């Protein structure tokens, strides 16, 4: 399910079956060109992975719009906001909440987070259409979904 009219109608009808929330965490940073490009690229690939995850598990996973923040943030206060976000979004409904990120800083502050953090190691992808990239994305999606399914 996504944050879309049609999906939300279905969500409210079949709420009891959709017990998992996934939130991509997307950092922004415009200080240098190379960093900005790298982050934008990671944004694209994280979005593709989340989309694929949602496509395969539509009936049980709600994919939230990304949580976007400034990368030079203070991760302690950012964690507090993020926790507020997840609890407000969830309203005690979701049994499992997963945060998807490439940002290692969250890994360092994992203990402050109320939800499960899935930290992926980043790679640079130049061309999303190659078979190799598709394989890599599939592989990532399979691993993440295995992890998520172990919670179900």
Residue numbers 33-72 binding ligand FES by CB under 6 A: 59
| Residue whose Cβ sits closest to ligand FES | 59
| Contact assessment for residue 61 and residue 7, using Cβ atoms and an 8 Å cutoff | no
Contact with other proteins (CB under 8 A) among 8, 9, 40, 55: 55
CA 49 distance to own-chain centroid: 9
Of 28-36, 52-60, 65-73, 92-100: span binding other proteins (CB under 8 A): 52-60
Instruction: List the one residue from 9, 37, 56, 72 that touches other proteins (CB under 8 A).
Output: 56
Which of 3, 9, 30, 59 is in the footprint of other proteins by CB under 8 A? 59
Residue 57 interacting with other proteins (CB under 8 A): yes
Q: Residue 10 binds which one of other proteins, ligand FES, none, with CB within 5 to 8 A depending on kind?
A: other proteins
CA distances from 40 to 28, 29, 35, 110, 132 (A): 8, 9, 9, 23, 21
The smaller minimum CB distance to other proteins, of residues 59 and 65, is found at: 59
Binding site residues, ligand FES, CB under 6 A = 17, 59
């Amino acid at each position: 399910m996504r944050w879309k009219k049609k999906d939300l109608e279905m969500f409210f009808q079949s709420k009891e079956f959709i017990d998992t929330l996934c939130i991509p965490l997307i950092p922004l940073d415009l200080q240098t060109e190379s960093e900005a490009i790298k982050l934008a690229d990671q944004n694209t690939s994280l979005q593709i992975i989340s989309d694929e995850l949602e496509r395969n598990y539509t009936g049980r996973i709600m994919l939230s719009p990304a949580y976007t923040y400034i990368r030079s943030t203070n991760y302690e206060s950012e964690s507090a906001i993020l926790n507020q976000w997840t609890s407000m979004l969830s309203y005690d409904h979701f049994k499992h909440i997963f945060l998807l990120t490439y940002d290692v800083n969250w890994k360092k502050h994992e203990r402050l987070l109320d939800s499960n953090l899935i930290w992926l190691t980043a790679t640079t992808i130049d061309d999303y259409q190659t078979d190799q990239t598709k394989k890599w994305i599939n592989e990532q999606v399979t691993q993440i979904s295995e992890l998520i399914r172990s919670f179900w």
